[in-house]
Chain A
């Protein structure tokens, strides 16, 4: 007798399910696991998870820390301290820049709400 559902059908359905569920989990974790990219001279130094509460690193004179899911330039050897005054950032597209030390930190991800550029 011809079976309506064969072993192969089950395998195909399972494979689709596994791929789908894995995709959803991946997307979901990307959503929760927000990251920041730290650059020196425009080159990526490190990508940091904003959940990594122990993170603290001195990048070319700028001390970058994660605190309560936000990232901050705690100290800097630069004269103007513009980076330190920027405070904590956590929204996609936000950034901290230390021009004298050529260090930048940017929260990853697209945010349509942010303008294309800033003047000032």
Chain B
């Protein structure tokens, strides 16, 4: 009898005990999986929002924070035109700077790229100041424009192993800086053996690996006619950098004319064209950022030639909502808004 009672007792407890074991194992499982969850860290740098996401790694926070630290370092030490300790600021103020290996190499690369187009300049600082692009906007007189054009003619850099000098003009690396920041952040992550990550600096995106280990990243292309968060198409990409230049980013309007922040170096005036945005996919961020600006300035025909030369894939949105896309990029493109009409350029 006693023995039977024990058995009933044991039977009675089996269910609750099993339930408790189940709950504990779920807890342990979720704790374990939390260690390799996806982590995003957001901040602001280079006058733009910055996001770094690392997928499925232990210490995701640490990876993200170090990548953001690198972006801020690149901004504050080199590229910022507002932080008084930066190399660009110092060059513009004091005209000379003790050479730094990273910066000298980087500037040489920028100068090399800028030779691609007479309409592109690394010295748009004076144009931006004159047109008060960051201060509400102002349409200058022809005389004022002639004056900055004249000053811009002599703008150049002297780079050697000891020093870097600016011979007239005002350096502004805004057309490439965000791409460079993306490059540097991705380099930090790769050095730390992170295989799946996404970095955004403003409108420039850099991706490595994939968000789930197998698929690709979906990058929305902003609708130039909509708000900051609307997108009209999706690009499915991996291991690349994507940049977009548009006349809707920074602009002012005067007498019904839109003046954007993208200047033609030949005229010292904001580019006026039938293009509203250019998206470029390339294998480094400095290049994708540079190409998006140059192609915006040069227009459709020359733009596709330049893209070919650099092995980049491009998408151009014109003001009439027609979209021109290179063949390779079309395979990665999904249009979400059918009011845009797409043509593939071979």
Chain A interface residues (CB < 8 Å from chain B): 2, 6, 8-9, 12, 16, 39, 41-42, 79-80, 82-83, 85-87, 89, 94-97, 99-100, 102, 104, 114-120
Compute how far the CA of A118 lies from the CA of B221 in the bound complex, rounded to whole angstroms.
6
Compute how far the CA of A24 lies from the CA of B174 in the bound complex, rounded to whole angstroms.
51
Indicate if the CB atoms of B135 and A120 lie closer than 8 Å.
Answer: no
* Interface residues as binary, B218-231 with A (CB distance below 8 Å gives 1, 0 otherwise): 11111110011101
Do residues A39 and B42 form an inter-chain contact, with CB atoms below 8 A? Answer: yes
- CB contacts between A and B, total, < 8 Å: 96
Main SS class of interface, B: strand
Ordered by A's residue number, 8 sampled pairs between the chains whose C-beta atoms are within 8 Å are A8-B12, A12-B15, A86-B227, A115-B219, A117-B217, A117-B219, A118-B203, A119-B279
- Taken together as a complex, chains A and B put the C-alpha atoms of A97 and B203 apart, in Å, by 12
Contacts A80-B250, A96-B228 hold; do A115 and B220 have CB atoms under 8 A apart?
yes
Residue on B with the closest CB to A19?
Answer: B23
- Closest residue on chain A to residue B235 by CB atoms: A119
Q: Are A99 and B44 in contact (CB under 8 A)?
A: yes
Tell me whether B316 is interfacial, beta carbon within 8 Å.
no
| CA–CA, A100 and B345, complex, Å | 38
A117 close to B42 (CB less than 8 A): no
Q: Which residue of B lies closest to A80 (CB)?
A: B250
Does any Cβ of A come within 8 Å of B200's Cβ?
A: yes
Chain B nearest CB, measured from A67 CB (Å): 16
Hey, which chain A residues are within 8 Å of B134, CB to CB?
A: 79
Chain A residues within 8 Å of B217, by CB: 115-117
Partner of A119, one of B53, B135, B228, B242: B242
